[in-house]
Amino acid sequence: MSEGRLRGVQVALVALFVTALVTAQLTAAKTLAFSLPVSLPVVDATLVTPGAAFAYAITYFASDCYSELYGRNAARTLVNVAFTMNFVMLALVWLTILSPAASSSVNSEWFRTVMGASTNIVAGSLLAYVVSQNWDVTVFHRIRKYTDGEMLWLRNIVSTATSQAIDTVIFVGIAFAVAPAVLGVGPQLAPPILASLMVGQYLLKLLIAVVDTPFVYAAVGYARGDIGAR
């Protein structure tokens, strides 16, 4: 196992994780709708999900690879440091929003609408992140212990599937039900729409979790020198 290769992969995974997490914050406000060839319970023939689903799915890929290669404590450190970076990103975005615009600038109100995440989105996504990612690390390493380090595919899928279920319920529940009702911020969605949004987001995340398993094996194998060894 090359120490230099391990360090290089570590830097790449940290960069990927933080980039995906920050991107998720910036894309969460847009709601996506994908037409399905068949009608499913709750979601019917349209899969509706927040735009952050893609970026958040990548964070689980990166954190599972990181957990496998560098251990539970290192993975928890990554999760919690990245959580702090969310506030750095938000501070920089709002500093830009509140600063005076030049005459050649894009429309300030449009910029604020696109970049200024609303309170309900921020509250929901940050709480969902810190709970679900720490759960992901815990479940991943418990399965790793029980399987004596074998069956990477099992801990990748189970840890990601369960943590993304937690993430989905917390995010949608806080952003579109609790925050609007308690704080009076953001749209309060009707229960059928909430259920559709939760199921749609989770199905997309679950599909990505299954699809990314070979890539987890590839990244871990490369870092350990099993792939591309010289």
At residue 170, the pLDDT reads 92
At residue 220, the pLDDT reads 92
At residue 230, the pLDDT reads 40
Work out the mean pLDDT of the chain and round it to a whole number: 85
Task: Tell me the chain's radius of gyration from C-alpha atoms.
Answer: 19
| 141-151: average pLDDT | 92
Q: By the 8 A CB rule, do 202 and 160 touch?
A: no
Model confidence pLDDT, tens digit, residues 28-67: 778 888 888 888 788 788 888 878 888 888 998 999 999 9
At residue 227, the pLDDT reads 55
| 6-14: average pLDDT | 92
Kindly give, in sequence order, each residue whose CB lies less than 8 Å from that of residue 68, ignoring residues fewer than 6 positions away.
140, 144, 152, 216, 220
Which pLDDT band holds residue 186 (cuts at 50, 70, 90)? low
- H or E segment to which residue 139 belongs: helix 119-146
Measured distance CA(45)–CA(104) in Å, rounded = 44
Q: Tell me if residue 109 falls in helix, strand or coil.
A: helix
| 130-152: average pLDDT | 92
Measured distance CA(95)–CA(90) in Å, rounded = 8
Whether the per-residue pLDDT at 228 is higher than 80: the answer is no
Which pLDDT band holds residue 145 (cuts at 50, 70, 90)? very high
- H or E segment to which residue 45 belongs: strand 44-50
Most confident range (mean pLDDT) of 60-74, 102-116, 199-213 is 60-74
At residue 91, the pLDDT reads 85
Most confident range (mean pLDDT) of 24-33, 51-60, 152-161, 191-200 is 152-161
| 96-121: average pLDDT | 82
At residue 229, the pLDDT reads 44
Domain ranges of the chain: 3-224
